[in-house]
Amino acid sequence: MSDTNSLNRTTINPKIFGGKPIIRGRRLAVEHVLGMLAAGDTI
């Protein structure tokens, strides 16, 4: 996945999760996904 494609999948909205980056169309924080990957989960 290219960097541009990755950026198109994320969004920031101050009304959701205090403005943290989330996956577009979902209420899933990017930091949560990164934490899962760091813990050893697979994509």
More confidently predicted of 27 and 40: 40
39 pLDDT higher than 70? yes
40 pLDDT higher than 90? yes
Going by pLDDT thresholds of 50, 70 and 90, the confidence category of residue 1 is: low
pTM exceeds 0.75: no
Residues 6+ apart with CB under 8 A from 29: 17, 20, 21, 22, 23
In tens, the pLDDT along 10-38 reads: 999 898 889 999 999 888 999 999 999 99
Residue with tokens 């999948």: 9
Bridge partners for 10 per DSSP: 23
What are the sequence ranges of the domains in the chain?
A: 3-38
